[in-house]
A = this chain, B = another copy of it.
Amino acid sequence: MTEQLPPDVIAQLKAMGSAITAELAQSSWALLTPFHEKIGYTAPQIDRDLRYGDDPRHRLDVHTVGTEAGAPVFVFVHGGGFVRGDKHTPGSPQYDLVGAWAVRHGYVGVTMTYRLAPEHKWPSGAEDVAGAVAWLRQNIARYGGDPDKIVVAGNSAGAVHVASFAAGHAAQGDPAGIAGAALLSGIYEVRTPQPGQPEHAYYGPNPGPETSSLPGLLEAPIPLLFSVAERDPRFFQEAAAGVVGAWLERHGTVPDLVWVEGHNHMSTIASLGIAEAALGPALARFIDRHTTTEGTAQ
């Protein structure tokens, strides 16, 4: 038996559908939080609110056992529709669970916060990922991390920011100081957003082609993992299928795409760190693969 959720939980996830609403977030986390509480979602040591830049949102938490040396570093960039979200919601597993998951796999875990729209517009998210990576390359050895083994993952708007960061370095053939990027339920081609849509707040009413990360991702000398959840809305399914088609054309193969079976846009991340193998093993193998052999950043 591989690890999967109990049948009644699988059924409840299914019943929630796929529309991204506050209710979906609330009910998904309510359903899976007890599993995290049971297994524990805090790493033995968490160094909080380390400053990687001048803005109050330029903060990151480092999750460790406290005795690492030369460990891969797994950075998580949260979602929240460009306008909300945080690395840490006290009293909840969001997103200390990702740090705990990383530590259990032998990595140093990093969760980071970034500036938000509408105050901060494109490409502020990518700039903040770059700022955090620069800080980690300078400082993470002190926490037992290897600065040449940084893998950055983003979810939803976080995936958009990580993708923009990675794509922005592609033209120079530059691996951006990272050993890999995992893009979990992201969007890589920006279309004209309608007022009220999350993209509108971040890109404004008329984003130019330079806001799409897909062309840069296709050229980026950085190992990439993409994922999409079974119950991600159609827009995300189209984004994933679009990556597959473009990748085939550019590289002659399909990309490393993980289909997160049974999960929705919110529960994908909540599936990490509990007895549920929908995403975790594939993500861990990606990190291991690119931090133990080839793919180490220069």
Residues of A within 8 A of B (CB): 1-4, 7, 10-11, 105-106, 228, 230, 232, 234, 237-238, 240-241, 244-245, 248, 252-259, 261-262, 277-278, 281-282, 284-286, 288-289, 292-294
- Report B-chain residues with C-beta under 8 Å of the C-beta of A285: 2-4, 261, 277-278
Contacts known (A257-B259, A259-B254); A1 close to B288, Cβ less than 8 A: yes
Q: For the A-B complex with A1-B292, A7-B293 known, give 12 more contacts whose Cβ atoms are closer than 8 Å.
A: A1-B106, A2-B284, A10-B293, A230-B253, A230-B256, A234-B252, A237-B252, A237-B254, A244-B254, A245-B245, A256-B261, A278-B285
- Structural contact, A288 and B2, CB atoms closer than 8 A: yes
- CB <8 Å contact, B277 and A254: no
Number of copies: 2
Residues of B within 8 A of A293 (CB): 7, 10-11
CA distance A292 to B252 in the complex (A): 37
Partner among B230, B261, B292 whose Cβ is within 8 Å of the Cβ of A7: B292
The answer for the CA separation of A228 and B251 in the assembled complex, in Å, is 14
Q: Given the complex of chains A and B, what is the CA–CA distance between A105 and B277 in angstroms?
A: 15
- Does B241 lie within 8 Å of A245, measured CB to CB? yes
Q: How far is the CB of A86 from chain B (nearest CB, A)?
A: 29
Residues of B within 8 A of A256 (CB): 230, 259, 261
> Which chain B residue lies CB-closest to A229?
B253
CB distance from A200 to the nearest CB of B (A): 24
Q: Shortest CB–CB separation between residue A292 and chain B, in angstroms? A: 7
Contact with A254, one of B7, B10, B240, B282 (Cβ below 8 angstroms)? B240
Q: Is the interface of A mostly helix, strand, loop or mixed?
A: mixed
A21–chain B nearest beta-carbon distance, Å: 18
Q: Give the nearest-CB partner of A239 in chain B.
A: B254
Closest to A293 in B: B7
Q: Which residues from B are CB-within-8-Å of A234?
A: 252-253
- By beta carbon, the residue of chain B nearest A290 is B261
A224 to B: closest C-beta gap in Å: 11
Q: How far is the CA of A285 from the CA of B281 in the complex (A)?
A: 11
Contact, CB under 8 Å: A248 / B241 = yes
In the bound complex, residues from chain B placing their C-beta under 8 Å from that of A106 are 1
Of A232, A248, A256, chain B has the most CB atoms within 10 Å of the CB of A248
Q: Can you identify 8 A-B contacts, CB atoms within 8 angstroms? A: A4-B288, A10-B293, A234-B252, A237-B254, A240-B244, A245-B245, A257-B259, A281-B281
* A82 CB, min distance to chain B CBs, angstroms: 24
With a cutoff of 8 Å between Cβ atoms, the chain B residues found around residue A254 in the complex are 228, 237, 240-241, 244, 257, 259
Query: How far, in whole Å, are A244 and B4 apart by their CA atoms in the complex?
Result: 25
Chain B: which residue is nearest A72 at the CB level? B1
Residues of B within 8 A of A253 (CB): 228, 230, 232, 234, 237
